[in-house]
Amino acid sequence: MEKKVIYSAVQPSGNLTIGNYVGAVRNWVRLQSEYECFFAIADMHAITVRQEPAELRRRTLELAALYIACGINPEECALYVQSHIPAHAELTWVLNSITYVGEASRMTQFKDKSAKHAENVNMGLMDYPVLMAADILLYQTDCVPVGADQKQHVELSRDLAIRFNNRYGETFKVPEPLIQKGGARICSLQESTKKMSKSDENPNAAVFLSDDRDTIIRKFKRAVTDSDNCIRFAEEKPGISNLLQIYCAFKGCTMPEAEREFEGKGYGDFKLAVGEVVADVLAPVQEKQRQLLADKKQLSEYLSVGAERAFKAARKTLSKVYRKIGFWRE
Ligand code: ATP
Ligand code: LTN
């Protein structure tokens, strides 16, 4: 039986946070042997907000190394850079013609990013979810493992696939979002109701996969909590609940197990334990990433093998799309 297809990506728009790790990349590792996987570095998405060219170039390779350091096997999965495959931009153009301005402008991320970058509300920012739909639909994807914040975008991809299929005949597989239960939304350490984000201006809000042990422990020590001194998961305790979620995700335990472990303990001890477990998990990932970045030739070889696989799959879908919509071909 043919394997089902998984597609996901992360933008090289900054250092990855533990939110990206727990919400996305770590889950890909579990799925890679069971599915046919395409994992991209979404550089075309990244330029919808201003990027420094030299940094974008450096981060692209760092992100490739990080995927592999986290456990993605580049020989098993197609690991590639989005801009290496022109079909992404080409399908975006076609999908643009069946996307309504109204639905694109209703996307939460578009509204948030427009408010945050008021001086640069560009067409790309609005088109971002259409490019994401093109990414997903090109590979006849079954499942899209992402964090909770991306659910709305995957739903738009579904709507566009269904709309296209209805208008032109069966062409795209209709994808499903795959959002795990624990850790799908890790929050900022400084504002417990806000998503932890790699582009947050406050350096203490996010823990980066590149942070050293002391920095990680310091950031957790400074994390905001509430005034009582009880370590349990509860809606009215967003700070402690967020830390508990992080602890469970990194320790690999359940919420009741974590609550039991810290019964009667103070916030100080708890925060230190969270920092330590995160630092323990990240240390080998950082070391592996360093080793991979030392051999850039090998890394770029992995990316070109990945791009070759992606190219073939993407072309197949794009040719079908062009035929269906009536673009003349010999
Ligand atoms: P930016 O701040 O540049 O918008 P980001 O940190 O939101 O970036 P993305 O590149 O947009 O990161 O997201 C990559 C993946 O990580 C997506 O699947 C997204 O859902 C997931 N993700 C991002 N932040 C979190 C979070 N705080 N908790 C869980 N998953 C997350
Ligand atoms: N927009 C995504 C990154 C992304 C993506 C994708 C995720 C680009 N293309 C396709 C899943 C499928 C984000 O996480 N911000």
Interval 298-318: pLDDT, tens: 999 999 999 999 999 999 999
Q: Examine the pLDDT at 1 and tell me if it is beyond 90.
A: no
Mean pLDDT of 277-288: 97
Using most ligand atoms within 8 A of CB, pick from 11, 38, 178, 196 the residue to mutate for ligand 2. Answer: 11
pLDDT category at 53 given cuts 50, 70, 90 is very high
Residue 113: active-site member: yes
- Atom 26 in ligand 1: which residue has the minimum CA distance? 19
Q: What CATH number has the domain bearing residue 18?
A: 3.40.50.620
Domain range for residue 104? 5-183+296-325
pLDDT score recorded for residue 212: 97
206 assigned to some structural domain: no
Same domain, yes or no, for 157 and 49?
yes
188 assigned to some structural domain: no
Residue 195: active-site member: yes
Same domain, yes or no, for 314 and 220?
no
- Predicted TM-score (pTM) of this structure: 0.94
Same domain, yes or no, for 130 and 222?
no
Q: What CATH number has the domain bearing residue 255?
A: 1.10.240.10
Same domain, yes or no, for 97 and 221?
no
Over residues 93-110, the pLDDT tens digits come to: 999 999 999 999 999 999
**281 Cα: distance to centroid of ligand 2 (angstroms):** 25
Same domain, yes or no, for 233 and 92?
no
Same domain, yes or no, for 167 and 243?
no
Q: How high is the mean pLDDT of the chain?
A: 96
Same domain, yes or no, for 169 and 149?
yes
The catalytic residue among 113, 219, 237, 251 is 113
Q: How far apart are CA 153 and CA 148, in angstroms?
A: 10
The catalytic residue among 151, 173, 198, 221 is 198
Q: Which of 14-23, 55-64, 86-95, 211-220 has the lowest mean pLDDT?
A: 14-23
Backbone dihedral angles phi then psi of residue 229, each to the nearest 5 degrees: -125, 40
Q: Examine the pLDDT at 184 and tell me if it is beyond 90.
A: no
Same domain, yes or no, for 283 and 300?
no
- Cβ(292)–Cβ(299) below 8 Å: yes
Same domain, yes or no, for 23 and 71?
yes
Q: How far apart are CA 53 and CA 209, in angstroms?
A: 22
Residue 198: active-site member: yes
pLDDT category at 319 given cuts 50, 70, 90 is very high
198 assigned to some structural domain: no
Q: What residues contact 35, with CB distance under 8 A and at least 6 apart?
A: 3, 4, 5, 6, 142, 143
Same domain, yes or no, for 252 and 321?
no
Domains in the chain: how many in total? 2
pLDDT category at 258 given cuts 50, 70, 90 is very high
Over residues 222-257, the pLDDT tens digits come to: 999 988 889 999 999 999 999 999 999 999 999 999
Same domain, yes or no, for 59 and 134?
yes
Q: Which atom of ligand 2 is nearest to the CA of 128?
A: 1
194 assigned to some structural domain: no
Backbone Cα Rg of the chain: 21
192 assigned to some structural domain: no
Using most ligand atoms within 8 A of CB, pick from 7, 16, 17, 20 the residue to mutate for ligand 1. Answer: 20
**199 Cα: distance to centroid of ligand 1 (angstroms):** 10
Same domain, yes or no, for 153 and 233?
no
207 assigned to some structural domain: no
- Atom 5 in ligand 1: which residue has the minimum CA distance? 197
Q: Which atom of ligand 2 is nearest to the CA of 153?
A: 1
In Å, how far are 50, 94, 120, 286 from 54, measured between CA atoms? 12, 31, 20, 22
pLDDT score recorded for residue 227: 80
17 assigned to some structural domain: yes
- Closest-approaching ligand to the CA atom of 149: 1
159 assigned to some structural domain: yes
Using most ligand atoms within 8 A of CB, pick from 135, 139, 157 the residue to mutate for ligand 2. Answer: 135
pLDDT category at 165 given cuts 50, 70, 90 is very high
